[in-house]
Amino acid sequence: MKRAYNFNAGPAALPEWVLQEAKEHWLNFNDTGMSLMELSHRSKDYEAVHNEAKELLTSLLSIPDNYDILFLQGGASLQFTMVPMNLLPENQTAYYALTGVWSEKAIKEAAKLGNTAISVSSKDDNYTNIPDPQKIELPKDAAYLHITSNNTIYGTQWNNYPTSLSVPLIADMSSDILSTPIDVSQFGVIYAGAQKNLGPSGVTVVIIRKDLIKEDTNLPTMLSYHTHAKNNSLFNTPPTLGIYLLSLVLKWGKQQGGIEGIASINKEKAQQLYDVIDQSNGFYRGHAEEKSRSKMNVTFTLPSENLTKAFLQEAKEAGFVGLNGHRSIGGCRASIYNAVPLDHVVELAKFMKDFQNSHL
C-alpha cells in the first residue's frame, strides 16, 4: 500500500518503521502472550518500555541530570494551566511572549490563576514574526517567561532564545520538539503534546528542571508536577500505548542519525518549499517574515481566494492531505514534521511549481 502524502498539522504523519514495528508486536509483546495495551502498567515489561522512552529522549536531546522527564495527559493545553499553577507565586507575575494563538491561549489560562503580563508581542504584525529574544527584559517581580517555540498556525519559529534571563524560561515546544538541537539547560520547563513530532496524541512530554519541582499540598494532586516526578509518571495509569509508540519514534530518531541527522533532513525539506515560494515571483506568498520562518509549518497564500481554493482542491485530488491553513487564518499550510519523508516534500514542491505554471 502506498502511504498518503500526509501534511496534517497534528495528529500528523508517523514514521512507517514505527507503525510496522508496532504491528509486528501487536498481538504478542515481548512473548507475554498479550499486546502492550493489555499489560499492567506495574509490570516489568511495561516499565522497561517506560524507562527506555525516558532514556532515549535523554540521549537524543542531551537532557542534563538535573532535569526530570514526565509523561502526562491532558495535552499541551493542560500545561497552560499546570505551568502557572506550579510555578507562579501569588506576589509575582508570569510573563508571556505573544507570538500566536497558542500563546494567547496559554496566557489566558495563566490569568485565571495569578498575575500575568505580555513581555513582547507580534500580534500587531498579524503574527508574521518572532520578536528579538535578546531585547526581552523582565522586571523584578517576574516568575518566569513563557514562549511558544514554534507557532503551528502562523508558521513562525524562534531560531534563538533569550539567554540572559534571571528567571526560568518555559517553552511550549509542541510543534518543534526534537526537530533541531537545543540546549536544554537554557530552559526551566519544556512541554509538548506528542502528536506532531513524538508520537500519537494522548501523551504529553514535560522536561522540567528538578529545582522547580516543589511539593505543595494545596494543589490538586494530579495537577502537581511533584506528584508525577516523585512517582516516575506512574502515580496513576499512564497512557501506555502512547508511551510505547513514543519509545519507537525515539528509536527511529536514533536511526536517522539522532537530532543532528533529523535537523539536517528538516532543513532540506523546508528549503524545498521555501525555494518554490521565493522563486514564484509572488505567486506564492509566505505568511512568515523570512527571518522567522518555521521549518515545521510552511504557511502561504496564492494571489486570490479563488486560486487558493483551486490549489487546495487540485492538491487534494493529487493525493496531498492536510494542506488547508488553520481555520482561524485560512490559506495553505504544509506541516512537515520529522516523520514526513523528504520525497513527499519533493513531490509537493513539484506540484506547487506545476500548479503555478498551469495557472499563470
Annotated catalytic sites, by residue? 102, 172, 196
The H helix count followed by the E strand count for the chain is 9, 14
Quote the least distance from Cβ 198 to ligand PMP, whole Å: 11
What is d(CA 162, CA 13) in angstroms, rounded to the nearest whole number? 31
Interface segment toward ligand PMP; rule CB under 6 A; list 69-77, 107-115, 270-278, 337-345: 69-77
Q: Which is nearer to ligand PMP, 77 or 159 (CB)?
A: 77
Quote the least distance from Cβ 263 to ligand PMP, whole Å: 19
* Beta strand pairing call for 189-193 and 169-172: parallel
| Residue of 76, 97, 167, 273 that binds ligand PMP (CB under 6 A) | 76
Residue list 96-115, contact with ligand PMP (CB under 6 A): 102
What is d(CA 88, CA 144) in angstroms, rounded to the nearest whole number? 8
Amino acid at 93: T
Q: Which is nearer to ligand PMP, 233 or 356 (CB)?
A: 233
Cis before 11 (ω within 30)? yes
Under the binding rule (CB under 6 A), the answer on residue 152 touching ligand PMP is yes
Looking at residue 170, what DSSP letter applies? E
Under the binding rule (CB under 6 A), the answer on residue 233 touching ligand PMP is no
Under the binding rule (CB under 6 A), the answer on residue 148 touching ligand PMP is yes
Q: Which is nearer to ligand PMP, 75 or 155 (CB)?
A: 75
Under the binding rule (CB under 6 A), the answer on residue 10 touching ligand PMP is yes
Quote the least distance from Cβ 104 to ligand PMP, whole Å: 11
* Size of site (CB under 6 A) for ligand PMP: 11
Q: Which bin fits 281, alpha (ψ -120 to 50), beta or left (φ > 0)?
A: left
Quote the least distance from Cβ 129 to ligand PMP, whole Å: 16
What is d(CA 141, CA 15) in angstroms, rounded to the nearest whole number? 45
In the chain, the DSSP E strands lie at 5-6, 67-72, 93-98, 115-121, 142-148, 150-151, 156-157, 169-172, 189-193, 204-209, 285-286, 297-301, 320-321, 332-335
Residue list 170-209, contact with ligand PMP (CB under 6 A): 172, 174-175, 193
Quote the least distance from Cβ 126 to ligand PMP, whole Å: 17
Cβ atoms of 178 and 207 within 8 Å: the answer is no
Quote the least distance from Cβ 173 to ligand PMP, whole Å: 8
Interface segment toward ligand PMP; rule CB under 6 A; list 12-20, 167-175, 269-277, 351-359: 167-175
Beta carbons within 10 angstroms of residue 124's beta carbon: 7
Q: Which is nearer to ligand PMP, 103 or 272 (CB)?
A: 103
What is d(CA 236, CA 218) in angstroms, rounded to the nearest whole number? 19
Interface segment toward ligand PMP; rule CB under 6 A; list 15-23, 40-48, 73-81, 156-164: 73-81
Residue 353: CB partners within 8 Å, gap ≥ 6?
276
CA 294, 299, 301: angle at the middle one, nearest 5? 150
Interface segment toward ligand PMP; rule CB under 6 A; list 55-63, 107-115, 169-177, 281-289: 169-177
Residue nearest to ligand PMP (CB): 75
Site residues, ligand PMP (CB under 6 A): 10, 75-77, 102, 148, 152, 172, 174-175, 193
